């Protein structure tokens, strides 16, 4: 497959987890296309909830489905992280200047970002040293109105184009549904969890299966600094996410506990 060569315009890689035909990715292309040449590599089907999963048990295929001046679109049977890996290693002569992922159909705020294929695609960009952003709209419908999301995605991308993003950081951007958005808040990731339930059902052959349901439980409803507060009050939330999962304050605590002095000879069977 012929390598894509960079030119004087920024090269922008676009991916998502809702699939190459989703309205959200078409909206993101519209948002960033004025700023550079766009290459899209996206899953050929929905890959929601795949987080940073990669494909290791089946071969990956990469097919060009559209080409015009300044825009090339490819589809693959891989995950969002696969999409970024394939683009970087197979398509590009050198790394793209930016990775943008989305616009996701549905929220990826709070702990949802850990499950998100949208954020996983952006995180893969960061791991390769590329400034990356994940965009999500708080509307799940396939034909959702992305007009306001396009405007905010364009403005936020323009800011990144001007100021860059620190190494090891990606932006997780969530946009309220509707047109009455009040503005942008830079936020903390809200503490919370999904309270999961599994409905037990029976298929036509009498076999039992389980369907995941549940609801989100916000543990910081009163915290005005969080993404959940921003979104619930009509603001776009931007959370800068690090790929370094080290909890630095615990380093000295664990050393003080003597963990570095442990050997197998210290074990006592009680």
Is residue 178 included in any domain, yes or no?
yes
Chain mean position to CA 239: 12
Is residue 250 included in any domain, yes or no?
no
Q: Give the pLDDT of residue 157.
A: 98
Asked whether the predicted pLDDT for residue 269 surpasses 90, the reply is: no
Asked whether the predicted pLDDT for residue 88 surpasses 90, the reply is: yes
Asked whether the predicted pLDDT for residue 265 surpasses 80, the reply is: no
Distances, alpha carbon 194 to alpha carbons 50, 103, 112, 188, 213, in Å: 16, 22, 8, 18, 10
Average pLDDT, integer, range 159-168 = 96
Q: Structural domain of residue 111, as residue ranges?
A: 11-190+223-245
Percent of the chain whose pLDDT exceeds 70: 97
For residues 125 and 267, the model is more confident at: 125
Selection from 112, 264, 104, 96 nearest residue 189 by Cα = 112
Average pLDDT, integer, range 113-141 = 96
Strands 183-186 and 98-105: unpaired
Is residue 206 included in any domain, yes or no?
no
Task: Render pLDDT for 4-61 as a digit per residue (tens, 0 to 9).
Answer: 776 678 999 999 999 999 999 999 999 999 999 999 999 999 999 999 999 999 999 9
Number of folded domains that form the chain? 1
Bridge partner residues of 25 (DSSP): none
Answer for the pair 50, 120: CB distance below 8 angstroms, yes or no: yes
State the CATH number of the domain containing residue 91: 3.40.1210.10
Q: Give the pLDDT of residue 110.
A: 94
Is residue 185 included in any domain, yes or no?
yes
Bridge partner residues of 192 (DSSP): 218
Q: Cα(85)–Cα(95) distance, rounded to whole angstroms?
A: 10
Mean pLDDT (the chain, rounded)? 93
**Count of Cβ atoms closer than 10 Å to residue 56 Cβ:** 7
Average pLDDT, integer, range 224-230 = 96
| Range in 87-101, 144-158, 165-179, 210-224 with the lowest mean pLDDT | 210-224
Q: Cα(196)–Cα(213) distance, rounded to whole angstroms?
A: 6
In three-state secondary structure terms, 22 is coil
Q: Cα(150)–Cα(158) distance, rounded to whole angstroms?
A: 12
| Range in 154-158, 244-248, 266-270 with the lowest mean pLDDT | 266-270
**Count of Cβ atoms closer than 10 Å to residue 13 Cβ:** 27
Is residue 217 included in any domain, yes or no?
no
The winner for highest mean pLDDT among 73-77, 138-142, 218-222 is: 73-77
In three-state secondary structure terms, 139 is coil
Q: Cα(25)–Cα(23) distance, rounded to whole angstroms?
A: 6
Bridge partner residues of 81 (DSSP): none
Q: Is 239 exposed, middle or buried (0-12, 13-18, 19+ CB in 10 A)?
A: buried
Asked whether the predicted pLDDT for residue 264 surpasses 70, the reply is: no
Q: Give the pLDDT of residue 113.
A: 94
Structure tokens at 112: 């949802």
Q: Give the pLDDT of residue 253.
A: 95
For residues 222 and 170, the model is more confident at: 170
Non-local CB neighbours of 270 within 8 Å, separated by 6+ positions: none
DSSP state string for 199-254: EEEE-TTS-EEEEEEEEEEES-TT-TTBHHHHHHTTEEEEEEEES----THHHHHH
Is residue 252 included in any domain, yes or no?
no
Is residue 2 included in any domain, yes or no?
no
CA angle (15 as vertex; 36, 64 as ends), nearest 5: 80
Q: Cα(246)–Cα(157) distance, rounded to whole angstroms?
A: 28
Q: Give the pLDDT of residue 256.
A: 93
Task: Render pLDDT for 165-212 as a digit per residue (tens, 0 to 9).
Answer: 999 999 999 999 999 999 999 999 999 888 888 999 999 999 999 998
Is residue 210 included in any domain, yes or no?
no
Average pLDDT, integer, range 127-142 = 96
């Amino acid at each position: 497959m012929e390598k894509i060569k960079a030119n004087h315009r920024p090269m922008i890689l676009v991916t998502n987890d809702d699939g190459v035909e989703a309205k959200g990715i078409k909206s993101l292309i519209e948002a960033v296309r004025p700023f550079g040449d766009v290459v899209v590599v996206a899953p050929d089907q929905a890959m929601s909830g795949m987080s940073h999963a990669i494909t290791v048990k089946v071969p990956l295929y990469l097919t060009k489905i559209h080409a015009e001046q300044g825009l090339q679109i490819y589809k693959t049977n891989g995950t969002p992280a696969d999409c970024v890996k394939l683009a970087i290693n197979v398509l590009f002569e050198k790394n793209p200047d930016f990775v943008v992922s989305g616009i996701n159909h549905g929220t990826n705020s709070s702990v949802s970002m850990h499950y998100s294929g949208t954020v996983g695609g952006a995180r893969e960009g960061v791991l390769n040293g590329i400034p990356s952003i994940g965009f999500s709209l708080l509307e799940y419908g396939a034909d959702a109105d992305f007009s306001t999301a396009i405007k905010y995605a364009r403005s936020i991308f323009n800011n990144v184009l001007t100021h860059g993003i620190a190494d090891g950081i990606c932006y997780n951007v969530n946009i309220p549904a509707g047109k009455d958005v009040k503005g942008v808040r830079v936020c903390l990731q809200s503490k919370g969890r999904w309270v999961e339930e599994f409905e037990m059902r029976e298929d036509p052959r009498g076999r039992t299966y389980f369907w995941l349901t549940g609801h989100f439980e916000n543990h910081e409803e009163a915290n005005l600094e969080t993404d959940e507060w921003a979104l619930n009050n009509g603001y776009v939330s931007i959370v800068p996410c690090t790929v370094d999962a080290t909890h630095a304050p615990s380093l000295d605590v664990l050393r003080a506990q003597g963990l570095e002095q442990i050997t197998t000879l210290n074990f006592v069977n009680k």
